[in-house]
């Protein structure tokens, strides 16, 4: 792990940083997208049948190509709600008052996660100051 950390700390983003500053950056949590395939059943589980069923029916009955594609994905492999286009679809559903912002947020939350740069480079525990000191030797 020290080798990976050494490579990371050699990046220009860490130039001029103290060990403490680098530590804080490596352990800072941030939000990122994660793939989540939303199926019809998952939609019902997240926002309930009373809201999800009319929404699914809307996509099924719509005649435009986008709605047809969404319905096909919901009822087969799933719609990847981490995709910015899927986020846009839920924004439009809110604007069209087919779903509340709260329900859209519940669904879209499944396409997000939090992580740290330390986790991204392979640390399963928070990076410690001693690791940075060792990597910079």
Give the residue extent of every domain in the chain: 2-29+116-135, 37-113
Q: For 33, what's the count of Cα atoms within 13 Å in the CB-facing half-sphere?
A: 12
| pLDDT tens digit sequence for 6-59 | 999 999 999 999 999 999 999 999 999 999 999 999 999 999 999 999 999 999
- CA 115 – CA 30 distance, rounded (Å): 6
Q: Whole-model pTM? A: 0.73
């Amino acid at each position: 792990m020290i080798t990976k950390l050494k490579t990371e700390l050699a990046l220009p983003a860490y130039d001029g940083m103290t060990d403490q500053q680098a530590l804080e950056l490596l352990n800072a949590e941030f939000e990122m997208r994660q793939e989540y395939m939303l199926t019809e059943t998952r939609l019902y589980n997240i926002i309930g049948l009373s809201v999800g069923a009319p929404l699914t029916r809307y996509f099924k009955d719509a005649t435009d190509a986008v709605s047809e594609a969404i319905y096909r994905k919901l009822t087969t492999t799933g719609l990847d709600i981490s995709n910015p286009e899927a986020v846009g679809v839920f924004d439009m559903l809110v604007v069209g008052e087919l779903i509340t912002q709260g329900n859209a947020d519940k669904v879209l939350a499944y396409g997000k996660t939090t992580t740290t740069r330390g986790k991204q480079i392979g640390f399963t525990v928070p990076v410690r100051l001693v690791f940075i000191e060792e990597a910079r030797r």
